[in-house]
Amino acid sequence: MLLDPFDKIVANLPYGDGFKFVDHILEMDEEHVIGVYRFRENEYFYRHHFVNNPITPGVILIECMAQIGLACLGSHLLQDSKETVQFVFTENHIVFNNLVKPGTAVVVSAKKEYFRFGKLKCLVQMVDENEQKIAEGWVSGMILKQES
């Protein structure tokens, strides 16, 4: 079975199944990306984060936004590169508006603010499946060249 280019990017992200927060890319071009992730009820962090009333940790929500906004978009922007590279998260500023409970699907949209000198900065927004805003702000990262 052939993967579409977006599915190939998701499949090649440098994260294991327990730390990959991208299920599918809905759309992507040189300027933006929109991706989806459903926070499954059996995620490891729910066992210990607000026991008996679990919510998704903010750091995990930021990671989800960075994986879609930086890793996926950055991989797309570098798809013609001959070198093996990956994006590493460097900084962010995120404002949270709502919580994410287990079982919730989120949609992350990221718009490229700049991509130059090996650095990518994106404006990001996360909404839930009811289009309720969860968080917004910006994330940035830089290219890390992998050694052969």
- Enumerate the active-site residues: 49
The residue behind tokens 């998260």 is 89
Nearest to 28 by CA among 3, 2, 10: 10
Across the chain, the runs of DSSP E, i.e. the strands, are 24-28, 32-38, 85-96, 105-116, 119-128, 133-145
Q: What is the DSSP letter of 102?
A: T
